[in-house]
Copies of this chain bind each other. A is one copy, B any other.
């Protein structure tokens, strides 16, 4: 677990794990962003406050402003950190080694894993306005886009086919993951478990009430796999067109 790496100065008293706010270890941006993500995971996005975040770090809110420019910039930092997590997790920077289908599958599952790990934070990745038109959510980093395009072209995709694939891939991920994550209670903190009883007024909607069970069934995982498979098929067609034309 804890690698016994040397620590440069003798703050040896605090050892490992998540050190609770300690006197002499100064804050740093990374710790603040991680704390923000944890806070959102536990309390929900709406509950995140500069003052409460400071409190969680054992510090007054004003101390945060030495490391983040403001709340907006904090949230941007959270998004960056989540996106960086996707990259590390999916090893997206690796080039395709088992064909482009495997490559794309790996990326898709990497993003999905992060979304499911942080369902209350993921909508942030989706909704912050992109800084550039080539950074479509949820693939909000140049590293991501570069790796995606380069990976596909190394596997025989033309410029046009790679760009089309990029658009299709982002739309696919955004729609599926946002929907999946929204069912996991994406907004509020203390969420009441839904009642199993009959919803009021449902008797006016015969189809919905008859298909209630099937509509409520959690098919997110297989749905994702099937839609991803469909996407790969479409991408294969576009790739061939590019080669033929």
Chain A residues at the B interface, C-beta cutoff of 8 Å: 123, 126-130, 132-134, 136-137, 142-143, 145-146, 149-150, 153, 159-160, 162-163, 166-168, 170-176, 178-179, 182-183, 185-188, 191, 194, 199, 201-202, 204-208, 210-212, 214-216, 218-219, 223, 227, 230, 234
- Copies, count: 2
The secondary-structure label for the interface of chain A is helix
List the B side residues contacting A159 at CB < 8 Å.
210-211, 214
Q: A171-B175, A174-B175 are in contact. Are A214 and B137 (CB under 8 A)?
A: no
Cβ–Cβ contact B142 & A201, under 8 A: yes
Cβ–Cβ contact B174 & A142, under 8 A: no
Q: Which of B166, B168, B194 contacts A215 (CB 8 A)?
A: B166
Cβ–Cβ contact A208 & B171, under 8 A: no
List the B side residues contacting A185 at CB < 8 Å.
129
List the B side residues contacting A178 at CB < 8 Å.
126-127, 137, 174-175, 178
Q: A134-B212, A173-B175, A211-B162 are in contact. Are A182 and B129 (CB under 8 A)?
A: yes
Cβ–Cβ contact A153 & B214, under 8 A: no
Cβ–Cβ contact A188 & B133, under 8 A: no
List the B side residues contacting A132 at CB < 8 Å.
194, 199, 216
Q: A129-B187, A130-B182, A175-B174 are in contact. Are A167 and B208 (CB under 8 A)?
A: no
**Min distance, Cβ A82 to any Cβ of chain B, angstroms:** 16
Instruction: State A126–B175 Cα separation when bound (angstroms).
Output: 10
Q: A163-B215, A219-B167 are in contact. Are A146 and B183 (CB under 8 A)?
A: no
Cβ–Cβ contact A123 & B127, under 8 A: yes
List the B side residues contacting A123 at CB < 8 Å.
127
- Which residue among A162, A167, A186, A204 has the maximum number of chain B CB atoms within 10 Å of its CB? A167
List the B side residues contacting A205 at CB < 8 Å.
142-143, 145-146
Cβ–Cβ contact B182 & A171, under 8 A: no
List the B side residues contacting A142 at CB < 8 Å.
201-202, 204-205, 208
Cβ–Cβ contact A208 & B149, under 8 A: yes
**Min distance, Cβ A83 to any Cβ of chain B, angstroms:** 15
Known A133-B215, A133-B218, A149-B211; 17 more pairs at CB < 8 Å: A127-B178, A132-B194, A133-B183, A134-B211, A134-B212, A137-B182, A142-B204, A145-B205, A145-B208, A146-B205, A146-B206, A150-B207, A160-B214, A162-B207, A171-B175, A171-B176, A175-B178
